[in-house]
Structure 1
Amino acid sequence: MLKQNILDRVQADPYAKFLGIEVVDLNEGFAEVTMTVQDSMLNFHGAANGGVIFSLADVAFAIASNSYGQTAVGINVNVNYMTAGKLGDKLTATATEITKNPKLGLYRMVVMNQDGDLLASLEGMVYRKKEQFA
């Protein structure tokens, strides 16, 4: 039931829907999402905009950190861009919980293309509110 509640929330998210992000997998403390780079996602160099890559990772981060049904909100994310994404690339982002306590959670995210090239590596922290949403 919790898993379906989170899936429903992500599928109703207007920004994730706008980007065409799809959920591949989710478990407690883990999420995997995909997206295909479209024309409208390119920067003036013809590469996938860094904000689009970040957004894909951020959706995975949000799913993984909220996977317990307790409201978690991002308070910090550090990103390292390694390789440019290209038009038509199928990007996959995973978010994996490193550690959590009642107030904070630390997550590692990676964004890869269909060839297994690392586009970005991120680390994010969430603050866990007292509210339960599921």
Structure 2
Amino acid sequence: MNEAIMEKVSADPFAKLLGIQIIEIEEGKAIVSLNIKENMLNFHGAVNGGVIFSLADVAFAIASNSYGQTAVGIHVTINYMKAGMFKDTLTATAEEVSKNPKLGLYRMTIRNQDGELLATADGMVYRKKEQFA
């Protein structure tokens, strides 16, 4: 992995705010994790859907920008299957499904520490001409 890419994606202020950790980066793939804290819960006592979406989105952003070419999200859909809970460790994996010079499609899966599937998401990026690494 290119050091400039790793430096760029590791500096994401929102990911840092949430406490998201980068586990793995390859071209077209990223794995990130997050330890769930009490302030990430909704009024039902489960992980807020926005937290799960944010974790998936960070993995998506890293995977789609892993080539050093600027890629910006243009559409994401998410499906929630199971609730995450306080003190869970959630892991999001983003994998490239399709890539061409202008568009990229990525599939994200979000699982808890027991490997249970909490959510899936699909995201599309537009690839700009600019290289950042």
Tell me which interval the TM-score lies in, with the shorter structure as reference length: over 0.9
SS of the residue aligned with 2:91?
A: strand
Over residues 68-118 of structure 1, what are the superposed CA-to-partner deviations in whole Å (9 max), with x where a residue is unaligned?
100000000010000000000000000000011000000000000000110
Equivalent position of 2:73 in the other structure = 74
Letter in 1 for 2:96: E
Residues of 2 paired with 1:131 and 1:121: CA distance?
A: 29
Equivalent position of 1:96 in the other structure = 95
Displacement of 1:9 after TM fit?
1.9
Residues of 2 paired with 1:97 and 1:108: CA distance?
A: 7
Unaligned runs of 5+ in 1: none
Displacement of 1:13 after TM fit?
1.4
Residues of 2 paired with 1:121 and 1:69: CA distance?
A: 25
Unaligned runs of 5+ in 2: none
Displacement of 1:14 after TM fit?
1.3
1:122 matched to 2:121: yes
Residues of 1 paired with 2:68 and 2:13: CA distance?
A: 20
Equivalent position of 2:24 in the other structure = 25
CA RMSD of aligned residues (A): 0.9
Equivalent position of 1:108 in the other structure = 107
TM value normalised by structure 1: 0.96
How many corresponding residue pairs? Answer: 133
Letter in 2 for 1:75: I
TM value normalised by structure 2: 0.97
Equivalent position of 2:64 in the other structure = 65
Contact 1:71–1:128 under 8 Å retained in 2:
yes
Residues of 1 paired with 2:78 and 2:104: CA distance?
A: 17
| Residues 7-16 or 20-29, more deviating | 7-16
Displacement of 1:5 after TM fit?
1.9
Displacement of 1:17 after TM fit?
0.4
